[in-house]
């Protein structure tokens, strides 16, 4: 689906997003005015959420999201150009019956086809039974398919989706053997030792890093909030590195030239890893960028920056490290 849209910065400083939700085809004939308000993310300056009407399929609307980033560092914008973050993820939600309780589940949905393709769909399982989905990057309640469908640890079961029929609203789950490869990114969980290659192609191990606390920073130059957070990351590194803090960047760029130049521009000296897709998808199950994981010197997870964890993004990292490394 294509919709005409325009971002306007008014004389009084108000930011407004116009989108034509009715004409379609990329036209802007009958636009809806959507004010951009205060952001829910620290790396955005303004955002808006709205619903897009659907003409086909079993659902009437699909959720949409737009935001203005605080920083466009690393992006070649021309004068008077602005960058707009656009989110278009739609999803279907339901329940599955387990032996001891109901399990709430959610699957990404393609409004264009009116279907959910399990080979490409993001899945959410309410593994802890709190009645909500933890969509924070690194959450154990989110999974994306790679060489296999994602598995979820629910109570004493490892579960995988066998089939999903939206027409009959039938969901079938199957019990599978424990996913021994997956690192569950939960507080008090363990990140085992692993090998990685740096930007020069040399092989290292996580255990080579001797520090009281290590921040695993899954980032990329095409990720606006990742780049926006780098200056704050450097400030915290310069202050706390001598006290036992280290960063291991886990960069997802296809080539190393752009991230190397950006790190040199920032004069950032922490080590950078070039993880392959197997490590990102099958070992850590990274589903969003940035994902931040703070571990101690023994590999025990201290925080994954979720809402009830020690904060790790922006200036909050400095506060967290100030409490851990006074």
**Residue numbers of the chain with a pLDDT score lower than 50:** none
The one-character DSSP state at 31 is: P
pLDDT of amino acid 193: 95
d(CA 3, CA 299): 47
pLDDT of amino acid 305: 83
For every residue of 67-125, DSSP letters joined together read EEES--TT--PPTT----EEE--EEEEEEEE-SSSEEEEEEEEBTTTTB--TTT--EEE
**Which residue ranges form the domains of the chain, and what is each CATH number?**
5-87 (no CATH), 90-175 (no CATH), 195-324 (3.40.30.10)
Counting Cα atoms < 13 Å in the Cβ hemisphere of 276 gives: 7
pLDDT of amino acid 181: 74
pLDDT of amino acid 81: 82
* % of the chain residues with pLDDT over 90: 53
Contact of 85 with 75, CB cutoff 8 Å = no
Query: Which residues, 6+ apart, have CB-to-CB distance to 81 below 8 Å?
Result: none
**Which secondary structure element, helix H or strand E, spans residue 224, and what is its range?**
helix 224-240
pLDDT of amino acid 73: 67
Q: Mind listing the pLDDT tens digit for each residue in 27-67?
A: 888 899 999 988 877 778 899 999 888 777 677 788 889 99
pLDDT of amino acid 59: 74
**Pair type for strands 170-175 and 142-143:** unpaired
Q: Edge-to-edge strand order for the sheet containing 102-109?
A: 90-97, 102-109, 123-125, 142-143
- For 165-190, the three-class secondary structure string (H helix, E strand, C coil) is ECCCCEEEEEECCCCCCCCCCCCCCE
């Amino acid at each position: 689906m294509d919709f005409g849209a325009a971002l306007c910065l008014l004389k009084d400083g108000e930011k407004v997003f116009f989108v034509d939700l009715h004409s379609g085809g990329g036209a802007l004939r009958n636009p809806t005015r959507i004010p951009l308000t205060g952001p829910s993310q620290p790396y955005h300056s303004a955002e808006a959420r709205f619903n897009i009407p659907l003409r086909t399929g079993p659902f009437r609307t699909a959720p949409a999201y737009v935001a203005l980033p605080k920083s466009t560092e690393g992006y070649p914008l021309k004068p008077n150009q602005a960058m707009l973050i656009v989110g278009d993820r739609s999803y279907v939600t339901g329940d599955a019956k387990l032996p001891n309780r109901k399990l709430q589940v959610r699957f990404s949905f393609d409004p264009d086809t009116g279907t959910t393709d399990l080979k490409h769909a993001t899945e959410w399982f309410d593994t802890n039974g709190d009645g909500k989905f933890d969509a924070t990057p690194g959450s154990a309640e989110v999974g994306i398919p790679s060489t296999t469908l994602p598995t979820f640890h629910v109570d004493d079961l490892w579960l995988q989706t066998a089939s999903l029929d939206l027409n009959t609203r039938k969901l079938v789950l199957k019990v599978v053997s424990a996913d021994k490869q997956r690192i569950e990114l939960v507080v008090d969980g363990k990140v085992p030792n692993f090998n990685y290659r740096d930007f020069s192609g040399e092989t290292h191990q996580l255990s080579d890093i001797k520090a009281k606390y290590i921040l695993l920073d899954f980032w990329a130059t095409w990720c606006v909030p990742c780049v926006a957070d780098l200056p704050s990351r450097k400030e915290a590194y310069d202050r706390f590195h001598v006290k036992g803090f280290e960063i291991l960047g886990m960069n997802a760029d296809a080539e190393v030239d752009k991230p190397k130049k950006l790190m040199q521009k920032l004069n950032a000296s922490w080590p950078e890893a070039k993880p392959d897709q197997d490590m990102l998808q099958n070992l850590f199950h990274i589903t969003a960028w940035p994902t931040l994981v703070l571990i101690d010197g023994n590999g025990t997870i201290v925080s994954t920056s979720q809402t009830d964890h020690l904060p790790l993004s922006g200036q909050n990292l400095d506060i967290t490290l100030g409490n851990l490394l006074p």
